[in-house]
Amino acid sequence: MDGTTASGGVSAFLRRRGLMLAVIAGLVAGIVFWLTDQTTALAVTAYLVLGVVILTTAVGMVRDLLAGRWGLDVLAVIAMIATLAVGEYIAGLIIALMLTGGEALEDLAARRATRELDRLLSRAPSFAGRVDPESGEVESIALDEVAVGDTLLVRSSEILPVDGVLLSESATIDESSVTGEPIPTHFTEGDPLLSGTVNGTASFRMRATKAAADSNYASIVALVREAVDSRAPMVRLADRYAVGFTAVALLIAVLAWILSGDPVRFAEVLVVATPCPLLIAAPVAFMGGMSSAAKLNVIIKDGGVLEVLGRIRSAAFDKTGTLTEGRADVVDILPGARSEDEVLALAAAAEQYSVHVFAQPILDAAHARGLTLPEVTAADEVATNGVRATLADGTEVRVGKPSFIEEAVGPFDRPELEGGAAAVHVSVGKEHAGVLLLSDPLRPKAGETVRRLREAGVENVALVTGDVRSTAEAVAASVGITTVHAETTPQTKVEIVGGLQPRPVLMVGDGINDAPVLAAADVGIAMAGRGATVASESASAVITSNDIRRVADVAVVSRRTVSIALQSIWVGIIISVGLMLVASFGYLPAVVGALLQEVVDLVAIVFALRALGAHRGLARAKG
């Protein structure tokens, strides 16, 4: 949201508040004139105040009509004109207060509903401590002054200002606000760090790898700003009720006038027909639903996403980084000259000295088995090939590519690999010790997510991936997906998802390579994980935790939100129609009807605010 938009929103708010205060002053004066029987003063006050409100409302109404939208304000304008025509000045002033005050109530409810979103904005870091490369002194600088390559000092409990790499030996960081992982994470020198996360108890140094505007947290803040500023299409759905609601209200009012022969009856009916409940209920419910999603680490960019998600009938998933973890893991060990445990222990001993992406998974696998690693006296990493280590007894261990191992042991048979798998060979001395097979593990809750989507009404679930068919089919079978599209390109993904039936279609991907198909789907959700994909402009929503269950959770939240919005709209309609029928028989004076309509407004708001709890009953992210 730029400064112009922000200032425009503030100006509009001030104008609305000023108009509401003017109406309050007019109503108070009108009541005084009414009690003191100053009829002329009352009429002049009513005409002045209502004239301004009618004119202001009519301008916006005409603007909507020119844009092809029939607004619900039409009834309010007719009702105010009718009260002036029949001399029900106090009732007219109450309608004006209801109309202008309703906007203020909507603002208040929306601020309450967006509290969870605003929390992200308020947490955005504003400064950084830069370390002078010559003197070593730390100076506080504005966030936008941080340049790539700067050395920064992050003190205890401070928010990391930009993305970077850890320079200190270690650090413990709370990533819960970004990834949803509740347990603080331990990092060692060279590990990548995300902006927006919170340092633990010890200060550390880091090197900036991105400017503030390009960092992870800035991307999240940008998404939140879009979410807060969006106007949900459900509001337009409420506007579409205006035609029918207006027709019914005018019909009842005209019949009451004709049958009674009293024009006052026309005004009394329209006083309780004012459509504030419809105007307020939908946007408040949708902002509440967006807040509920934010509590589950899902940032929704536009309220309209909730409406579409509530009707999803097909879903497509990418594989790598979506249904799978997007990282390597040891899935099998093929022993050669040594046993499985010996192969793993030898590999882990050497990989301690490697920065390769396969090093940590191998170490994790050895630790999981409780293996004791042989002592290494020397080690060096051979770029693009592997690691060469010397054990305490002088034996050389090699871990890496087949060609690197063959330099020490000569030619050997290489295992056939299924799609998506990778082989790490291990030698000890002149022997080929064995092979570690690594693959991308399935997310633990992927199958549960697919099942819950089907239970929520999704009829067609497909896997759309660029990986080879054998791997894709194995993953799909593991999570209960029967429709598989493998070895696809970005273009064919778009074509496949575009042809899925029934509509609407949800696409879930990693938000980088899947950007075109995320944009092509009716709703695109990006799995952000550690923040690599948060900046994707193509996704409709971003899951900032590593929990794939959030896909099903946000679908449930959307359905609940749409249901609450519709319930709130219909509650307002039913109560208003009931009051109109009572008024048509002359049992509801205009002033009383106007006061009762304020109660209807409050009832609609309370109903709509239930969307703040749309996430209740869903498990919090565990990482």
Cα separation, 329 vs 349, in Å, equals 17
Question: What domains lie within the chain, and their CATH numbers?
Answer: 3-116+225-290+558-613 (no CATH), 126-159+162-214 (2.70.150.10), 329-439 (3.40.1110.10)
Computed over every residue of the chain, the mean pLDDT equals 82
pTM: 0.66
Structure tokens at 558: 């959307």
CA 573 to chain CA centroid, Å, is 31
Residue type present at position 213: A
Q: Which parts of the chain have pLDDT scores under 50?
A: 1-10, 109, 113, 180, 182, 227, 231-235, 531-535, 620-623
144 tagged catalytic: no
pLDDT at 343: 96
245-257 confidence digits (pLDDT tens): 888 888 999 999 9
Burial class (CB in 10 A: 0-12, 13-18, 19+), 499: exposed
Residue type present at position 210: K
Q: How many helices (H) and strands (E) does the chain have?
A: 20, 22
Using DSSP, state whether 422 is helix, strand or coil: strand
Main-chain dihedrals φ then ψ at residue 152, nearest 5 degrees: -120, 145
Cα separation, 122 vs 105, in Å, equals 23
Are 610 and 283 within 8 A, CB to CB?
Answer: no
Please provide the DSSP assignment of 446-481 as one string: HHHHHHHHHHTT--EEEEE-SS-HHHHHHHHHHHT-
pLDDT at 268: 87
pLDDT at 256: 93
Cα separation, 461 vs 326, in Å, equals 21
Are 178 and 220 within 8 A, CB to CB?
Answer: yes
Out of 73, 302, 318, 514, the active site residue is: 318
- Say which residues have a Cβ less than 8 Å from residue 399's Cβ, sequence separation at least 6: 346, 347, 350, 351, 354, 362, 386, 387, 389, 424, 425, 426
pLDDT at 397: 97
pLDDT at 372: 94
Are 534 and 542 within 8 A, CB to CB?
Answer: yes
Torsion of CA 27, 29, 30, 31, to 10 degrees: 90
Reference 430, options 338, 362, 345; nearest CA is 338
521-544 confidence digits (pLDDT tens): 899 898 876 544 443 556 788 888
**Helix (H), strand (E) at residue 200:** none
Structure tokens at 311: 């009707």
